[in-house]
Structures are given as C-alpha cells and as structure tokens.
A and B are shown apart, each in its own frame.
Chain A
Amino acid sequence: MANPSTGEALVRLEGGRRSSPARARSLLGWGLGRIHRIFKAVIVLAAFLALWEAAPRLGWTNATFLPPLTEVLKTWWRLLLSGELAEHTQVSLARSLGGFLLALLVSIPLGLAIGWWKTAAQYLNPLLELFRNTAVLALLPVFIMLLGLGETSKIAIIFYACVFPLLLNTISGVRNVDPLLIKSARSMGLTSVGLFQKVVLPASVPTIFVGIRQAGAASILVLIAAEMAGAKSGLGYFVQYTQFSFQISEMYAGILTISIFGVLLNYALVTLERRLTSWKQTQSE
C-alpha cells in the first residue's frame, strides 16, 4: 500500500459494497498491513540498538570507548533527572532557534524581493553563490575573532548558515512560479501587488520550505561545531567536555540528546510543511 490515506479511503469505499465477512477480512488485512508497516519502520533501528548493546557486552568492541546502550541510557536518565542535560539543551536550543528564526525573518522577505525583481537577482547571484559555496565552518574563526566567544558569535554563525539555503530557495521559488498561472491571473485583471500576494507567494511556499528544512539541519550542525570550538555551555560543549574528562557514558548521552534534538526539529518542520502544502500531490514511494 503506497499511501496510507489512499489505502484507508479505498477500504472505506469498498467496504460499503461488500458483504460483512468480506468486510471483516478486509479490515483484518488492513490491520495486518499496519503491523507490517510498523515492522518495516522499526526493525532496522531495533537491530542497530541491539548491536550497540551486544557489541561491548560480548567483547567485540572495547566497552570503555563504547559502553552498552543500557549503560548510556542509565547515564542519560541520571543526567536528565539532575537537570544537567536540560540546562545544556536549553542553551543550545536558544542559540539554534535564535539564529534560525532571525534568518527566517531576514531571508524570506529579502528572497521574495530579490526573486520578484529580476535585475536584483542578476546582480546579487554571483555574490550569493560565492557565500553559499564557502563552507560555513571555515568562517567560524572569523566570527569568533570579530564577535568574541559570547552568544553573539554563535547566534551570528548559525544565522549565517541558515540565511543562504533560505534565501536561495526563496528566490528560486519566486522565479520558478509556473508562468501560465501568472498569465491566467493577469488575464483576470490582477495588479502586480495582487499577483504577488495571491499567486506568487502561495506558489513558492513548497520551495521555500525546502530552504527551511535545509536551514534547520544547518542550524544544528553549525551549533554543535560552534559550541565545540569555544563555549562554556550547550550540548556541543557538553560532548566535548565529557570526552576530555573521559566520561564516555556521559559523552554518548550528550550525542544521543543531539540526535533526538535533530529528529524532533526535523519532525516539527515536516509536520508544518505538510500542513501548509497539503494541496500538493503526495504520491511518492
């Protein structure tokens, strides 16, 4: 079954026409299908976690450098209860969201403007390409030099990392609106402002979201790197610090937290994207 909602709809549609034993069978089939789907989603992940648990216990790896999963989870739980993790997570969250939201605020309006005025795009494109293709982390020392080791430099570099995917995707979203839709709206006498508001903006939302997701991923990557390079708190700092002081279990607990943080952020963005672009055809898979 490719698409869960289609599947459900089909079952419901067919259910009306079938006799009850057949309906029971189709409901059973649906239940099995669901179990099958959950199985597919979980099995490899479970195997990986089992391997993590088993490898150090069976002596395949050195338990000092890779403690079993349960050990790490125990440590994680302890850190969570002590409030230490929450503290670092909060600091990291503030930095990454700060930079990310600031970038949203700047890039999307700017991108819309640049995309709308062709000439602006032609002038700015080479510079934007140069910035985009300069690895952000290479600029980390520059940011630290100019803005110091405090919060400003961290938020600034996260902001910088988020700006380009957002800006470039917004520009291309605006530039690539189907010309036929514009022609059609123009034929109904829409002014430039109306055209922008009613056609160009909604049509570019999906492409803008590609940028938002890329920026979300970039914000975490750069956050951790920046915190490792120079900070006194935050998850990146925590991982770095625990490694240096040989608290290996704690280090893995920190890494685990970063993973969860990333997965949750991505999940939130995907959910938001689904809501805003529910009109789009979803027949992938």
Chain B
Amino acid sequence: MSSTALSIKISIQDVNKSFRIKRNTDQSRDSSEPVIALQNINLDIHPGEFMVIVGPSGCGKSTLLDLVAGLTKPSSGQVLLDGRPITGPDLDRGIVFQQYALFPWKTALANVEFGLEAKGVPRKERRKLALEYIQLVGLAGFEHRYPHELSGGMKQRIAIARSLAYDPDVLLMDEPFAALDAQTRETLQSELLRIWEATGKTILFITHGIEEAVYLGQRVAVMTSRPGRIKEVIAVPFESRTSEEDLRAHPDFVRVRHQIWDLLKDEVQRAQEQEKSRSLTAAGSKIPVKGAGFNG
C-alpha cells in the first residue's frame, strides 16, 4: 500500500489530550488536577483498513476514539478525515459501543432506522435499508423485538446494523465484544470480518484483548499506560482472515500474539499500579464515570 496523502483515511497528528478531573470531596488540595490522557499520538489509517488499538485499561483508548468521532476535541494537534480536520460528530463515522447504546423504547427495526432518519432518508427507503442491514447481521425475524427481548450478542448485532445502515465510511468500535460471553464473542468476531470484507469499511477497533486484536486487525497499535502513547504498530501478516481453518493455532498468530503480549506486559502492570494509587488517594471521592458528559 502506498503512503501518499490520498491513501490515508484517518490521520491522527501530534495529538495531545488532557482533562481536569473534579473531585467532589477534596477539601485540602486544589480540586482540579490536569490528567494527561493522550500524549503525542501519531497514527495513519488507510481506506478500507482494519486497524486495532490495544492497550491496558485507562490508557486513553476510548478518548482517542472519541476524538476521531468528533465528540471531543484534542488539546493540541489535529485529527484529519480525508485530509480535512474533524470538527464534530457526523454520519460519515459510525460508533459501536461496548454497552450497545440501543434506544430501549424502540424496536430493533426502529433502532436501525434511527440513524437513517437523522440522515434524512425518506421513510420507505429507511424501512428497506434497515431490513437489509438486519439481514446482513443475521437477525432477520427479530425486527420487532425490543432491546430487552434480545441477548447481548443480538443487541450488539443490531447496534452494528444501526451504524452500518447509514453507510459511514468509517466504523469506530469501542470494545464492542467485551461484554459478551466467549462463544458469542468468537462468532461476532468472524461475522465482523465477513461484514468488513463485504462492505469495505475502514474500521478502527479498540480492545484490551490481545487475541482479539491479532485475530481482527491488519495492523495493531499498542498503547502505553497513562499518559497514553503509541508504543508500536505491528502489522499482522495474514492474507485471508475469513478462511475456515483455526487461525488462532497458526504459528504466525502465536508469534504476533506473543510479541504484543511482551509489549503490553509492563504497561498493564503499570496501569494497575496507577489504578491502585488513584483509588487510594481518591478514596470516597467520585471518579468520573466512563461515558459522555451531559453538554446538551
């Protein structure tokens, strides 16, 4: 793949991001200390590429995804999509969340139609497209179920259908399979690869699972513990991922898996130390919950 400017879909350039964390119960020390979430991130993602970011928990992976989604802005540096800076969320990028984020008052079908409605697709067309994508994720027949009537795996399939339906160029996936049981996860991983090959989307996929990263990614970016930096980007040398044989037993798979494990080992330990000391100093105080702020 040539690396001219044209063949880069997403370009993350010198990105830094820091937060101020407010503590409710702090009396003595200054109540807001800046936390550096991301430090000097540089990463280019090619069109149609399946890029996986793997890192220890709390390393800022989700923050990076939010930046690409346009839900937050970098403190410095820039994120380009097709050469243009990202100014906000838009329908050219779709997000799939770990907790599905389906609207519980809407049926599966209405959930998939939601993004299409936002895009301004006429009603009839909406219905047709939604049914098509529900079929694509293998849930034909479940269109009129409400989310609480679906299993975790089914909900995630619907969430994926919802994001695909409005046809974004880029699919951003934030640990989408982390809440699923092992078997469902494996099924959905191979289904995702099938969908990726069928649709040619650029996928940015975040996980803390090494196996998942190697199995899915064409390239795997390994992140450090906080402040999150890109430690190394590793190319995964497989040609066709959707073949029938057990990829996980392949010697190359084992080698790459070990390589990433080696890179991550210290980071995970450090992240766990950080977490411990954080929860010690912040004992009793409210740690901001993962998720969105309420800035209507």
Interface residues of chain A, those whose CB is within 8 Å of chain B, are 116, 118, 175, 179-190, 192, 194-196, 198-200, 202-203, 205, 277, 279-281
Closest 10 CB pairs of A and B: A183-B292, A184-B101, A281-B148, A179-B292, A279-B105, A179-B291, A187-B95, A188-B118, A187-B89, A279-B146
Q: Which residues of A contact B93 (CB under 8 A)?
A: 187
Q: What is the total number of residues of chain B having a CB less than 8 Å from a CB of chain A?
A: 29
Q: Known interface pairs A188-B89, A188-B114, A281-B148. Does A179 touch B293 (Cβ–Cβ under 8 Å)?
A: yes
Tell me whether A180 and B90 are in contact (CB under 8 A): no
A119 nearest CB across to chain B (Å): 12
Q: Known interface pairs A187-B89, A281-B148. Does A118 touch B294 (Cβ–Cβ under 8 Å)?
A: yes
Q: Which residues of B contact A118 (CB under 8 A)?
A: 294
Which chain A residue lies CB-closest to B92? A189
B201 nearest CB across to chain A (Å): 15
A164 nearest CB across to chain B (Å): 24
Q: Known interface pairs A180-B97, A202-B103, A205-B105. Does A186 touch B148 (Cβ–Cβ under 8 Å)?
A: no
Tell me whether A189 and B291 are in contact (CB under 8 A): no
Q: Which residues of A contact B71 (CB under 8 A)?
A: 183, 186-187
Interface residues of chain B, those whose CB is within 8 Å of chain A, are 69-71, 88-91, 93-95, 97, 99, 101, 103-106, 114-115, 118, 146, 148, 166, 289, 291-294, 296
Once bound together, how far apart are the Cα atoms of A123 and B146, in whole Å?
38
A57 nearest CB across to chain B (Å): 52
Q: Which residues of B contact A203 (CB under 8 A)?
A: 103-105
Tell me whether B90 and A280 are in contact (CB under 8 A): no
Tell me whether B118 and A189 are in contact (CB under 8 A): yes
Q: Which of A116, A279, A280 lies at the interface centre, i.e. has the most chain B CB atoms within 10 A of its CB?
A: A279
B129 nearest CB across to chain A (Å): 15
A211 nearest CB across to chain B (Å): 18
Q: Which of A185, A187, A190, A198 lies at the interface centre, i.e. has the most chain B CB atoms within 10 A of its CB?
A: A187
Once bound together, how far apart are the Cα atoms of A190 and B90, in whole Å?
9
Q: Which residues of B contact A199 (CB under 8 A)?
A: 103
Choose among B91, B289, B296 the residue that contacts A188 (Cβ–Cβ < 8 A): B91
Once bound together, how far apart are the Cα atoms of A32 and B184, in whole Å?
39
20 contacting pairs across A/B (C-beta < 8 A): A118-B294, A179-B293, A181-B101, A182-B294, A182-B296, A183-B97, A184-B95, A184-B97, A184-B101, A186-B89, A188-B115, A188-B118, A189-B88, A189-B91, A198-B114, A202-B105, A277-B105, A279-B106, A279-B146, A280-B148
Once bound together, how far apart are the Cα atoms of A195 and B88, in whole Å?
15
Q: Which residues of B contact A200 (CB under 8 A)?
A: 296
A209 nearest CB across to chain B (Å): 13
Tell me whether A180 and B99 are in contact (CB under 8 A): yes
Once bound together, how far apart are the Cα atoms of A188 and B121, in whole Å?
13
B16 nearest CB across to chain A (Å): 22
A125 nearest CB across to chain B (Å): 16
Tell me whether B105 and A192 are in contact (CB under 8 A): no
Q: Which residues of B contact A190 (CB under 8 A)?
A: 118
Tell me whether B292 and A186 are in contact (CB under 8 A): yes
Q: Which residues of A contact B292 (CB under 8 A)?
A: 179-180, 182-183, 186
